[in-house]
């Protein structure tokens, strides 16, 4: 019995000693000794060997849009001296990004941006600074999605981040009428009475040019407009209004069919002049509030379906 007691006592002592050793373990890394790294920290980490990316959208305008990418001095302590960082537009990064992600984004052309310089200085005691870019939206195609790749080529004497040394900005263009809307109103089909309006419905106006938008139905995943066919949801095939808007008055001046005027099935679109066909805008003129519009589906020269609608702006797309 005495021998057993001594064994338990020794075992307990060993356990206490082991716990004490764990409490005093200093094997955690000392981050204060990390060397500074220069990086482009904002963006979604790819995690697949491709460049990191971030999304940005711009309103089409004759005035270049301001854009900026953060350049970061990553270190435990603020920099004791100014750091001049050099960046370049890295076309190879877009090729790599598309290949790895299975995308086909277009490289932003040189006419689409202006760089005041390819260098930026992080001041003493400051950890990050914005690298400014001007995006010349008027020189771009609103139907395209562009990729703008920036890579740090010189970290000013410091290490360039391996994971955050390149950033690809995926850019889309929108005009001021682009957005998500709740649509109410009425529709009458003079040929087939079983086809009726389907309201309220969430539809989108998608930019096709500086002053044009086309109707897109996300519920049907197509350029078109959901309607009811004896209680089932459908769309008119190869028909979607494409509106041209006066940028000063916000009046729709023309409606044509997105699929052709006429499309291969003989369908075209026309405005009904009995409506004002006008956007009401916010007080600063930047955002739609509502749209009152009437338009007609013409099929093989005959006015077939008549739409009388109110579009209420919900959000950006």
What would the mean pLDDT of 153-165 be, rounded to a whole number? 95
What pLDDT is stored for residue 43 in this prediction?
65
Q: For 28-37, 95-104, 228-237, which range has the lowest pLDDT when averaged over its residues? A: 28-37
CA–CA gap between residue 145 and residue 55 (Å, rounded): 10
Kindly state the percentage of the chain with pLDDT values over 90. Answer: 79
What pLDDT is stored for residue 31 in this prediction?
39
For the chain, give every domain's residue range: 32-174, 179-315
Higher local confidence (pLDDT), 34 or 108: 108
Q: Give the length of the chain.
A: 317
Closest to 269 in 3D by CA, of 259, 282, 255, 281: 255
pLDDT exceeds cutoff 50 at 5: no
- Inter-residue contact 17 to 9 (CB < 8 Å): no
> Dihedral sign, CA of 11, 17, 18, 19?
positive
3-state SS assignment for residue 97? helix
The hierarchical CATH code for the domain 179-315 is: 2.40.128.420
- 68 Cβ neighbours under 8 A, 6+ residues apart: 130, 131, 132, 133
- Looking at the structure, give the CATH architecture of the domain made up of residues 32-174: Sandwich (2.60)
Residue 135: left if φ>0, alpha if ψ -120 to 50, beta else—which one? Answer: beta
What pLDDT is stored for residue 42 in this prediction?
76
Residues 173-206: tens digit of each pLDDT: 999 999 999 999 999 999 999 999 999 999 999 9
What would the mean pLDDT of 237-254 be, rounded to a whole number? 97
Q: How confident is the model at residue 49 (pLDDT cuts 50, 70, 90)?
A: low
> Dihedral sign, CA of 36, 40, 44, 46?
negative
Q: Quick one: how far is CA 150 from the chain centroid? A: 18
Q: How confident is the model at residue 45 (pLDDT cuts 50, 70, 90)?
A: low
What would the mean pLDDT of 209-225 be, rounded to a whole number? 94
For residue 138, the 8-state DSSP code is: G
Residue with tokens 């009428």: 177
The bridge status of strand 278-281 relative to strand 288-299 is antiparallel
């Amino acid at each position: 019995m005495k021998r057993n007691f001594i064994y338990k006592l020794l075992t307990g002592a060993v356990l206490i000693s082991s716990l004490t050793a764990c409490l005093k373990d200093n094997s955690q890394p000392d981050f204060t000794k990390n060397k500074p790294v220069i990086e482009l920290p904002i963006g979604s980490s790819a995690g697949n060997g491709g460049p990191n990316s971030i999304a940005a959208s711009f309103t089409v305008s004759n005035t270049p849009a301001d854009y900026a990418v953060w350049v970061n001095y990553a270190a435990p302590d603020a920099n004791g001296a100014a750091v001049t960082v050099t960046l370049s537009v890295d076309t190879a990064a877009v090729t790599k990004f598309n290949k790895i992600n299975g995308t086909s984004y277009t490289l932003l052309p040189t006419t689409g941006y202006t760089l005041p310089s390819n260098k930026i200085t992080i001041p003493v005691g400051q950890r990050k600074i914005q690298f400014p870019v001007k995006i010349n939206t008027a020189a771009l195609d609103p139907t395209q999605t562009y990729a703008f790749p920036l890579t740090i080529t010189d970290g000013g004497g410091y290490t360039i981040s391996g994971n955050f040394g390149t950033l690809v900005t995926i850019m889309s263009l929108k005009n001021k009428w682009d957005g998500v809307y709740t649509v109410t109103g009425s529709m009458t089909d003079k040929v087939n009475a079983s086809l009726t309006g389907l309201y309220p419905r969430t539809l989108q106006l998608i930019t096709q040019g500086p002053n044009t938008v086309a109707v897109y139905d996300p519920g049907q995943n197509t350029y078109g407009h959901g309607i009811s066919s004896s209680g089932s949801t459908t769309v008119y095939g190869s028909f979607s209004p494409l509106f041209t808007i006066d940028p000063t008055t916000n009046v729709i001046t023309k409606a044509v069919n997105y699929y052709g005027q006429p499309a291969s099935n003989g369908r075209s679109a026309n405005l009904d002049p009995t409506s004002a066909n006008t956007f009401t805008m916010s007080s600063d003129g930047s955002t739609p509030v509502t749209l009152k519009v009437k338009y007609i589906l013409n099929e093989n020269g005959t006015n077939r379906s008549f739409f009388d609608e109110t579009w209420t702006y919900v959000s950006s797309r």
